Amino acid sequence: MDFETRVINMNRTQLMEIIRNGESSGVEFKRDDVQPQSVAKEIASLANLEGGYILLGVEDDGTVTGVTRSDIEEWVMNICSGNIQPPLIPYFETVPWDGNKRIGVITIPEDSHDKPYKARQDGRWITFMRIGSTSREATREQEQRLYQASGIFRYDIKPVPGSSLNDLDINRLINYFRDIRGQDCPEQGEIEQWETLLINTEIMVESRGKAIPTVGGILLFGKNPNRYLPQAGISAVAYPGMEKDYEAVERETIRGPIVAKFAGEDIVDTGLVERAIEFVRRNTSSKAHLVEGRRIDKPDYPAEVIRETIVNAIAHRDYTISGTDIELSIYSDRLEVISPGRLPNSVTVERMKAGCRVTRNELIKEVLRDYHYVEATGLGVPRKIIAGMIKHNGIEPDFIEDEYSFTVRLGCIT
């Protein structure tokens, strides 16, 4: 059953399919005599993932025992209003089964705007997450990601404890404000003025009377971002064939600030974006093609597509997932970029391909836009990546989302 399309007025055939497939990340079975806090736990955990179904009157093994409560719908709605925070209104129905049995079906919609949902458990409000077919109490990091998904919490403007202005590359900041943004900025030694400017632009934040760099500030302009943020980098590997291999052609752990330093139009100190692009350039080739009788060398991948793919991964990855780099993998027949974290803020693959403009890291995206790494329209995926690959070799890119990551796969004609 496709849980992206919620079933209203479920019929017996659809319900049989769900029961036959068993419990999963989107389906939970519950006995008729279940306690309200148990139902609340499952509702909250499913709402915090992608929604799903709770079938009341079905045993763990799929045996249908049915529901007997005469006020079953009112009972469910009271749980959703009194035992879930914020209150949630699901769709509820009963479906007749063999004999006089009935199955209660609670359909929880996918809605990222009010996450995280909490369930009342013995007087406490607890955030639960759906992990496979089980519901578990969320870790602090998981709860942060739920707040981020709702738009309530922005991780890229969170302060980085222990860091200070000294951890930012002041020359890169001068280049950004003076040359990229075209505005006046303090002299290098004017500490208080710099802290005021950086707080006003969210590169730093005031915390307990001190100016502290934000996550985005460290990632964009840090002297050594990985000192504080181990996830701030790209693990790049080029393989000789179509599968992962210990005998790689080249491996590089790419580190440093995201943005480059410029002198006019020239780059005088590369950033993460340029270093990743250079890795791709070194480990891909050009192939000769005949066009109207002329030999033309065509690269494996268009430069603009590579740049857009890498920039998108850096701008939109989930930085709350620590210790995990972006993965850049080059094979003989394809190139893959894997970003930690799912797509942000209820974006789906289809919406992204259509040009949906939702972002996860607003500060990072806006600074990248200032540097023209990111186009103002926000239509890089359909206009650059998809259209660019189809024009180049006729192979439409693959966009793959799973529970913990998002992959862009570009095909190559071998």
DSSP-derived pairing of the beta strands 27-30 and 52-56? parallel
Structure tokens given for 238: 């080029």
Per-residue pLDDT for 6 more than 50? Answer: no
What is residue 168's DSSP assignment?
A: B
Residue 208 lies in a domain: yes
Residue 5, in any domain of the structure: no
Domain limits for position 214: 157-225
Q: What is the pLDDT of residue 163?
A: 93
Task: Report yes or no on 1 lying in a domain.
Answer: no
Please indicate, yes or no, if residue 2 is contained in any of the structural domains.
Answer: no
Same-domain check for residues 205 and 309: no
- Cα–Cα dist 93/31, whole Å: 16
DSSP category for residue 24: B
Ranking 111-115, 233-237, 384-388 by mean pLDDT, the lowest is: 111-115
Q: Is 87 left (phi over 0), alpha (psi -120 to 50) or beta?
A: beta
At 16, give phi and psi (nearest 5°). Answer: -60, -40
Name residues whose C-beta falls within 8 Å of residue 174's C-beta, 6 or more positions apart in sequence: 185, 188
Among 274, 281, 321, which Cα is nearest to 301's? 281
The answer to whether 25 and 49 are in contact (CB under 8 A) is yes
Do residues 327 and 218 share a domain? no
Closest among 80, 96, 105 to 8, alpha carbons compared: 105
Q: Which of 124, 151, 178 is the last residue of a domain?
A: 151
pLDDT class of 112 with cuts at 50, 70, 90: low
DSSP 238: E
273 and 209 in a common domain: no
Band of residue 99 on the pLDDT scale cut at 50, 70, 90: confident
The reported pTM is 0.71
Same domain (yes/no): 286, 371:
yes
Same domain assignment for residues 110 and 137: yes
User: For position 49, what pLDDT does the model report?
Assistant: 87
Please indicate, yes or no, whether residues 146 and 163 belong to a single structural domain of this protein. Answer: no
Ranking 103-112, 250-259, 269-278, 306-315 by mean pLDDT, the lowest is 103-112
Residue 143 — very low, low, confident or very high, per pLDDT cuts 50/70/90? confident
Among 138, 55, 166, smallest CA distance to 102 is for 55
Average the pLDDT over 177-190 and give the result.
Answer: 94
Q: What is the CATH number of the domain that holds 42?
A: 3.30.950.30
Residue 6 falls inside a structural domain: no
pLDDT score of 5: 38
pLDDT band for position 7 (50/70/90)?
very low
Residue 377 included in any domain = yes
How many domains does the chain contain in total?
3
Burial class (CB in 10 A: 0-12, 13-18, 19+), 266: exposed
Shared-domain flag, residues 122 and 198: no
Tokens coding 129: 């997450």
Q: How far apart are CA 293 and CA 259, in angstroms?
A: 42
The answer to whether 387 and 287 have CB atoms below 8 angstroms apart is: no
Is residue 27 over pLDDT 90?
yes
- Helices 303-316 and 272-283: crossing angle in degrees, nearest 10, is 140
CA end-to-end distance (rounded Å), the chain: 37
Per the structure block, which two tokens stand in for 355? 């040009």
Q: Residue 147: which pLDDT band, with cuts at 50, 70 and 90?
A: confident
Same domain, residue pair 209 and 306? no
| Residues 162, 146 share a domain | no
Give phi and psi for 287, each to the nearest 5. Answer: -120, 145
List of residues 6+ apart from 247 with CB closer than 8 A: 240
Whether residue 126 lies inside any domain: the answer is yes
- Distance between CA atoms of residues 218 and 146, nearest Å: 23
Angle between helices 303-316 and 362-370 (to 10 degrees): 150
Bridge partners for 225 per DSSP? none
Is the pLDDT at 358 greater than 90? The verdict is no
Per-residue pLDDT at 151 exceeds 70: no
Q: How far apart are CA 298 and CA 295, in angstroms?
A: 10
In a domain, 80, yes or no: yes
61: left (phi over 0), alpha (psi -120 to 50) or beta: alpha
Contact between 59 and 29 under an 8 Å Cβ cutoff? The reply is yes
Residues 29 and 131 both lie in one domain: yes
Whole-number pLDDT of residue 8: 47
Strand partners, 106: 54, 92
- According to the model, what pLDDT value does residue 148 have? 73
DSSP for 328-357 reads EEE-SSEEEEEEESPPSTT--HHHHHTT--
- Chain-wide mean pLDDT for the chain? 89
Report yes or no: 7 and 46 within 8 Å, Cβ to Cβ: no
Please tell me whether residues 286 and 368 are part of one structural domain.
yes
Per residue in 343-353, pLDDT tens?
Answer: 876 678 888 88
Q: Are 204 and 195 in contact (CB under 8 A)?
A: yes
Same domain, 181 and 285: no
Q: Which residues pair with 335 in a beta bridge?
A: 330, 410
Residue 59 has pLDDT above 60, yes or no: yes
pLDDT at 213 over 60: yes
> Bridge partners of 156?
none
Span 156-170, mean pLDDT?
Answer: 93
